[in-house]
Amino acid sequence: MIGSLKLALTATITMAALPALAADNLVFVTGSPGGSWYPAGGAIKSAVEDIFDDVGIQVRPGGGLANIKAIEAGKAQLGMSNTISAVDAAAGKAPFDTPIGNICNVAYLYPQVIQAAVTDSSIADFAAMTGKRLAVTPRGNTAEQLARLTLSTVGLDYDDLGQVNFASMSDQVNMMKDGQVDGFFQATGVPAGVIMDVGASRDLRLLPITDEMFAKMKEVNAGFGQITIPQDAYPFMNAPVQSVSFGTHVIADCNASEDAIYKVAKAIHDRLDDIGIAVAAVSKTTPDMLGQDVGIPQHPGSAKFFAEVK
């Protein structure tokens, strides 16, 4: 009897010493290591879990289009996304076969900018990529879709290039450093860590997206906007470069817990400076920008939070 009491008391003490399990556990699909989405996801996870004991987040790698599909399939509750992809998904436009109705916006984060960097000094524009070697993200990623779209505005496709490598951002960096490719194509924040990395050891040039190219892209998706990459964005730049941008935002399953998504939105808002330290592109985002309309429905949880802080 005494032994049973001791065993029960020991079990009670042990259970009391264990941390409480989160009431809401969310899978958060982000991007590949080397890009800005993966550290952004980690920073948001830290912010949420530091403020709220009852929300746990598992950060996993992912990709722009893959993240939307993961949420649609119920494999994740949170994801990083591009506004242009989310709008296409909601409308059922290519590359989505049918409308996806269960993705909602949580918070706008920062503009993503198309950045094609080359090491070959003879490549002054996208048209000069004919016969050259290019590295892009794996098929199914937004950046890869954008690479094909951008090339098409100057009448090129992959068959016109000398070689196309589908690789993660970290592998692309190594390819650029080793001279295995002449350029790589990114769609990420400014400044981009991968471009800074390569630029520290190789001479780089950013290719401009002209007004004519932009007009053709705008016909495909109205969510595109023009942007100028400032001269001081990277040490190797000697003049501003014109490009195209679109938004990066956090999405959620519309059926995810309203309370949990409210807390995610609040943590992003309250720890925005900390997230900006982890991801330089977020450092210029203001609290007022977080709740903006991005073209898809706002999740009830985040809608409630942003209505409170207006």
277 is a domain residue: yes
Say what the pLDDT of residue 22 is. 66
Task: Give me the number of domains the chain comprises.
Answer: 2
6 is a domain residue: no
Q: Is the same domain home to 135 and 221?
A: yes
Q: What is the CATH number of the domain that holds 134?
A: 3.40.190.10
Triad 95, 155, 225: Cα angle to 5°: 60
Q: Is the same domain home to 119 and 202?
A: yes
173 is a domain residue: yes
Segment 184-216, tens digit of pLDDT:
999 988 889 999 999 999 999 999 999 999 999
What is the DSSP secondary-structure string of the chain? -HHHHHHHHHHHHHHHHSPPPPSEEEEEE---BTBSHHHHHHHHHHHHHHH-TTEEEEEE---HHHHHHHHHTTS-SEEEEEHHHHHHHHHT-TT-SS---SEEEEEEEEEEEEEEEES-TT--SGGGGTT-EEEEPPTTSHHHHHHHHHHHTTT--GGGSSEEEE--HHHHHHHHHHTS-SEEEEEE-SS-HHHHHHHTTS--EEPP--HHHHHHHHHH-TT-EEEEE-GGGSTT-SS-EEEEEEEEEEEEETTS-HHHHHHHHHHHHHTHHHHHHHSGGGGG--HHHHT---SSPBPHHHHHHHHH--
Say what the pLDDT of residue 165 is. 97
Q: Is the same domain home to 209 and 257?
A: no
| pTM: predicted TM-score of the whole model, two decimal places | 0.74
Domain boundary among 218, 246, 274: 246
Q: Is the same domain home to 98 and 52?
A: yes
151 is a domain residue: yes
Q: Is the same domain home to 213 and 304?
A: no
Q: Which two tokens stand for residue 71?
A: 């949420």
Say what the pLDDT of residue 280 is. 87
Q: Is the same domain home to 126 and 224?
A: yes
Domain boundary among 197, 227, 246: 246
Say what the pLDDT of residue 24 is. 87
1 is a domain residue: no
Which residue range(s) make up the domain with 213? 113-246
Q: Is the same domain home to 39 and 81?
A: yes
Q: Is the same domain home to 149 and 188?
A: yes
Q: Is the same domain home to 103 and 129?
A: no
Say what the pLDDT of residue 283 is. 92
Q: Is the same domain home to 91 and 73?
A: yes
Please answer whether residues 206 and 146 qualify as being in contact, where contact means their C-beta atoms are separated by less than 8 angstroms.
no
What parts of the chain have a pLDDT lower than 70? 1-22
Domain boundary among 246, 274, 300: 246
Q: Is the same domain home to 132 and 220?
A: yes
176 is a domain residue: yes
Q: How many residues does the chain have?
A: 310
3 is a domain residue: no
Among candidates 194, 88, 65, 82, which has minimal Cα distance to 139?
65
Percent of the chain residues topping a pLDDT of 70: 93
299 is a domain residue: yes
Q: Is the same domain home to 105 and 252?
A: yes
